[in-house]
Structure 1
Amino acid sequence: MDDSYGSITAGLLIGLDVQVEDLEDIELEDYSRYYEQYVSDTKESIDTIKRIWKDHPTTCEKQMEDVAKMLLSEVQGEISENISSWRQEDHVEFIDHYRNVIGLYLIPLLKDIDKDFSNCLAEKFYEKWVEEFPSGAFEMLSYEQIADEGRNPFTCYITESIYKVLNRNDDYDCYELSAFRQFRDDYLLGQPEGRELVRKYYETSPKITSKIDALPNAEQVYCQIWEDYLSLCLEEIEESEYEECKRRCIRMHRNILELVEGA
């Protein structure tokens, strides 16, 4: 790759000191303003990406692969540099900050550069991001889908949805959700197949919850998931029966997918 392409990643990252709150905590009007500022800050990098496509259309996919690798490497560097100042128990929340920035600004920008090729770069970067940070998965949306349609790339996942239905504390730090996150980080991600399991869960969960929410008996479905799977999995976590919990989670995910696909 031309050395000048290395400036692309620096340019895309330089504008990421924008508002990083979850979409639920930011007004769409403010989001649009922050996004437009990000577009302005990254103009030079975007122009370079467009030049790659124009000058090398037949090898653009390989070029985008290289850009995606470089971009992830830069993000990893920033995370490594800054995460040391956070308490160990806050590391997951720190990764979520980067997930929010990437999902609200970087991915929408990459998807909107040029419809002919920008999805290629967005998808390649997202694939590498999730491979490195499985718990940082989200739904890839364009700016129009977020700003005009009000869609949220961080649609709440199965456990959070269940807790809302059960009228329990759905705070980020509540006991049950913290226990599930600890199981994910301390056990599941350390297993040979664990990263792939977590990646699939986070990639499919937004679609699963959307389909369940559209069912006339959505509350009943969520309650059944809690009774049949998650409440038992929580007991297994408390008893350090992690392998049993993992198998139960796999069955839960498979059965829920079959349920919503047949709906």
Structure 2
Amino acid sequence: MEELKQGLRTLFDEMLPKTKSFKSKTYEQTFSDMMDAHSENLRLIEEAIYTADEEQQPVLIKEFGAVIPEYAKSKTAEMSKNQLNAKQIDFNMNMAAYVIPAIRYGDRAFCKQIAEETVKQWNGQKVTGLTLQTSTYEDISGGFKKKLCYITTAVCAEQGKPDNCQELEILRNYRDTYLMHSLDGRALVEEYYEIAPVLVMMLDMQKNRQELYGEIYEESLLPCLEAIASGDYEGCKDKYKAMVNGLRGKYLPS
């Protein structure tokens, strides 16, 4: 059992440096390589719980779910406040982009429960000053394909709006019929294609995420939509750039 737990700690350690290169062009291969290395350990964890007595299964799920939070917490206990401030983004990004999606990946019912328990204990132990959300490989990989509208999608989802809401339809049409027809417009879409999922992950980790998404909607997205409605397409581009650059400066390390 200890060997299986050590496999989870190794997963955390091996993927931590990868947060610095979390990009659309490399994510799929990085994730695939990670699963090649750790899938067998996750399979054995699933098997260990499956073959355990029914009353023992919840105990094991909680036990495995505590492994990484306790391990990461022991690392933060050795850090100064400045070191922790510098590392908390890397720790949470590692969990959100790689570790939790890896544990949840595939048709493993008990591992999915372990992932949920890991998130619960990570937040309960306050490993960092950021909140961890449950994430999946499919959501992250798919998010990289949404390009310019990824932030808008997150904002509208926070408001309970569907994927075909008016705001998203207008911005998608603007992207496809205006931005994608110029060199600088396509370059803009490709640039934000890389960083938007990372920005949304960081926003989702903030304790006041609902307030932040509301501010983005009122202060940035509505002015963009108003610019489109008035035919000021370049003005919309400038406003969107200002929004993303402002978020990048605030939430992403240099």
- TM-score, normalised to structure 2, is 0.53
1:61 aligns with 2:58: yes
Rounded Cα–Cα distance in structure 1 between residues aligned with 2:16 and 2:205: 29
Query: What is the DSSP-based 3-state SS (H/G/I as helix, E as strand, rest coil) of the residue aligned with 2:73?
Result: helix
Residue 34 of structure 1, CA deviation: 1.6
1:9 CA drift (Å): 2.7
- C-alpha offsets along residues 158-210 of structure 1, whole Å, 9 cap, x if unaligned? 9xxxxxxxxxxxxxxxxxxxxxxxxxxxxxxxxxxxxxxxxx98356169617
Shift of 1:73: 1.8
Task: Please state if 1:213 is matched with 2:217.
Answer: yes
Aligned to 1:20: 19
User: Greater relative contact order (Cα 8 A, min sep 6): structure 1 or 2?
Assistant: 2
Change (3 A) 1:20 1:121: same
| Distance change (3 Å), C-alpha of 1:51 and 1:96 | same
Contact 2:11 2:99 in 1 (8 A): yes
Shift of 1:136: 2.2
What amino acid sits opposite 1:73 in the alignment? E
Distance 2:60 2:208 in 1: 29
Picking from 28, 42, 46, the partner of 2:42 is 46
Q: For 1:56 and 1:214, how far apart are their aligned partners in 2?
A: 52
Structure 2 residue corresponding to 1:104, chosen from 97, 101, 105: 97
Provide the C-alpha distance between the structure 2 equivalents of 1:207 and 1:116, rounded to a whole number of angstroms.
Answer: 34
Q: Match of 1:19, SS?
A: helix
Kept in 2: contact 1:112–1:143 (CA 8 A): yes
Q: Is the 8 A contact 1:7 1:45 kept in 2?
A: no
Q: Which amino acid aligns with 1:98?
A: F
- Report the secondary structure of 2:109's partner residue: coil
Give the AA of the match of 2:105: D
Tell me, what secondary structure is at the counterpart of 1:123? helix
RMSD: 3.9
- Residues 18 and 47 of structure 1, relative CA distance in 2, 3 Å threshold: farther
Other-structure match for 2:85: 92
Q: Distance in 1 between matches of 2:53 and 2:139?
A: 28
For residue 117 of structure 2, the aligned residue among 102, 124, 141 is 124
Cα shift at 1:31:
1.4
